[in-house]
Amino acid sequence: MSATLKGATAPVEPGYVRQRATALVRHHDPHARVLVLHAVPQWSGEPSFTVEGATVHVRACASQLAVLDAYAQLPESYLVVLTDRTAQDLGDAVLLRAWRRRVEMPDLWQAVPALFGATGCSRELHRVGTWAPAALLSHVPPDGWPPARGVEVTPDHALGNLLTHLLGRSLPETPDASLVLTTLDTPAARSRWRNVDPTLRAELTDWAENRLGVDVGFGLRAGADPSPVTPLAVGLAIDTLWDRHASGQARGPAMGRLLERHLGGRQLSVEAAQRIGASCAAVVRQQLAVNAAHAADARRTLAQAEAVLADLGWPEGAEHSDLLPAGLTARLRALGEVLGQGSEAAEAALSQVNQHVLAHQETPALVAARMAVRLARWLETTEPACPTLSHSLSRQVRDGAWVDRAVNAVWNGSDDGVLSQQYATLLAQVAARRQTRDRVAAEQLAVHAAAPHPVEGSVPVERVLAEVVQPWRCGDGVLLVVLDGMSTAVASEIAESAGELGLAEWVPVSGTRMSALAALPSLTEISRASLLSGELTTGHGPAEKVGFAKKFPGAPLFHKDDLRAGAGAQLPDPVADAIDDTAGKPVVGVVLNTIDDTLHKQDVSAMQWTLDRLAPLRPLLSARARGGTYGRAHRRPRSRRGARHRGPARHCLAVAYARQRPRG
């Protein structure tokens, strides 16, 4: 980058030559088509270019004869002559054809206003230095610089747009810490910034630091470092190192190593370091909140920041951070340590976990932590007596299902050896209490099996069609989905997941879900066959279809093989047509074996059951919501004694059949 001072002989910038050539063409003087510039007679740019439809030639001429030769070769063209000869050396033969009949002394400042559609440059821009006009002339964007906001060009407008342009951003855009740090987070942008002339890069960085803030200057300096470490990662390390709550003998030496390795030995005041750290942390928080792609970038930055701290000899410092993953791990460990000290201590530790930025993501590890605190709270509750099977079933639906769900979440809750052992201790305490419950319920079930009798709040599996499905059949129609192998814990997950489709749940007026008492032994060929036939029986798929059609004449029942759709579809046509035909087929049955099949093949202890995992449950429910009277106008069932609506949504979800399989 060459800077041209008024009155000096130096190389001229191509941008300046083009700008002055534009002025020459706009002058519209047929007798003055030549601009003679006093400069070193060297030209590395294009020998000819077009300005507003006119061709302009550029020639470097070291003598009067060279200029006259250029005149002879280009008699009717626009011509810019670069020469270090004085007016006296050139003589009248040259000057009579020159614009204004003189040798023009280059003044780069004079050319700047026209670049921005202004009449002059502000005093503040002049004070920046002679590098500014040369840079603005040399880096004019293809569409030109954005027009100035007033009659004068200010440094904020001119140099702000210059910086933004050199970073590869679209114009106009006002640079700030967020823009600079976000842009330089990509390798391509850092490579582009490093390729800027070092002198210009240094001048522009100093200006940006003084005018826009120390955090902007930091981003530009760190972005020029050939290291693959991003400015954001270095900034997060600074945020941790200069945190007033941080401590440790290795902290001081780590500070010095960071300044030497990543900031070229420049010192940072506490205030500057805290501003840099805060700006970098704010950008990463924003990335985590935007979308999955930006969140992935943020996670890479967080991992890199932890690596920086480790490389500086202070890896334990990351545990102090409320943003770095190690900080979250440390808080989760602290939670594990107090799980056995009562729910009050656990709640306080969980509050510390929730204050970590990464705690706002619903990851399995965080779900496990929250469920572990629920279990700690549950262990402190008084275990009510359950004198009858009805009480035991009601307790399982109302309370035990949620305990089982929490146990599933905590079972594989952490990959940290210390925390996983603490979870194991908690789960052992929960299991001991659950075993006592199960023993009582098993004894009550044995008594019931020997002398069957009505169980309040529950319905025998063979009576589900009559007591649950039939009331909903009147007028509105029913889609009955049987999820084979579903526990009450899984039922609670699916009920929540179904809310994504606008479905609401109807439950008895007691507010507790109805339970279905399986036929014993609770095998598919006995319990499920009895459910779908409406009477105690045995059989497999064909027998279930016959029994279902006998209970509801013309009602179809679809099994696994009936649900295989063709290319491009989620449901086969017969299934979709049956669901749409609420008048001709007021009851449609579907059996999904996903849970039961998975139980036989996989460890489901930490599995989350959603609509998408239970394909094709989502398209089944969506088709019913769109196609039937549920999808058109909501009507309550005509016979709904003992039922109430939970929530304002239009559709209903009935969990009709549950079969609990103990872990192991």
Question: Could you report the per-residue pLDDT of 504-534, keeping only the tens digit for each?
Answer: 787 776 777 888 888 888 888 999 999 999 9
Angle between helices 108-115 and 131-138 in degrees, nearest 10: 50
Give buried/exposed letters for 610-645 (b at 16+ CB in 10 A, else e).
ebebbebbbbbbbbbbebbebbeeeeebeeeeebee
Mean pLDDT, the chain, integer: 86
Domain ranges of the chain: 14-106, 116-320, 328-450, 458-653
Enumerate residues 6+ apart whose C-beta is below 8 A from 18.
49, 51, 140
**Strand duo 54-60 + 48-51: pairing:** antiparallel
Q: Give residue 644's pLDDT.
A: 37
Beta carbons within 10 angstroms of residue 276's beta carbon: 29
Beta carbons within 10 angstroms of residue 270's beta carbon: 9
User: Which structure tokens are listed for 154?
Assistant: 């200010």
Comparing C-alpha atoms, which of 428, 364, 333, 345 is closest to residue 607? 364
172 upstream amide cis, omega within 30 of 0: yes
Residue 627 pLDDT class (50, 70, 90 cuts):
low
Instruction: Tell me the pLDDT tens digit for each residue of 393-452.
Output: 989 988 899 999 999 999 988 888 889 999 999 999 999 999 999 999 999 999 998 888
Q: Is 554 exposed, middle or buried (0-12, 13-18, 19+ CB in 10 A)?
A: exposed
Instruction: Tell me the pLDDT tens digit for each residue of 249-267.
Output: 888 899 999 988 888 888 9
Enumerate residues 6+ apart whose C-beta is below 8 A from 66.
41, 59, 83
Comparing C-alpha atoms, which of 586, 402, 594 is closest to residue 495? 402
- pTM (two decimals): 0.70
- The helix (H) or strand (E) run that includes residue 78 is strand 78-83
How far CA 44 is from CA of 7, 41, 269, in Å, comes to: 22, 10, 45
Instruction: Tell me the pLDDT tens digit for each residue of 590-620.
Output: 999 888 888 877 777 767 788 888 889 999 9
Type of residue numbered 20: R
Mean pLDDT in residue range 365-390: 92
Q: Give residue 465's pLDDT.
A: 92
Q: Is the pLDDT of residue 139 over 50?
A: yes
Helix, strand, coil percentages in the chain from 3-state DSSP, rounded to 5: 55, 10, 35
Q: Give residue 12's pLDDT.
A: 78
Residue 152 pLDDT class (50, 70, 90 cuts):
very high
- The helix (H) or strand (E) run that includes residue 165 is helix 155-166
Q: Give residue 633's pLDDT.
A: 27
Q: Percent of the chain scored above 70 by pLDDT?
A: 92
CB 60 within 8 A of CB 41: yes
Instruction: Tell me the pLDDT tens digit for each residue of 441-471.
Output: 999 999 998 888 888 888 999 999 998 888 8
Q: Is the pLDDT of residue 477 over 80?
A: no
CB 411 within 8 A of CB 606: yes
What is d(CA 85, CA 236) in angstroms, rounded to the nearest whole number?
Answer: 57
**Strand duo 651-653 + 643-646: pairing:** unpaired
Q: Give residue 175's pLDDT.
A: 93
CB 472 within 8 A of CB 542: no
- Using DSSP's 3-state secondary structure scheme, residue 60 falls into strand
Residue 76 vs residue 587, higher pLDDT: 587
End-to-end CA distance of the chain: 75
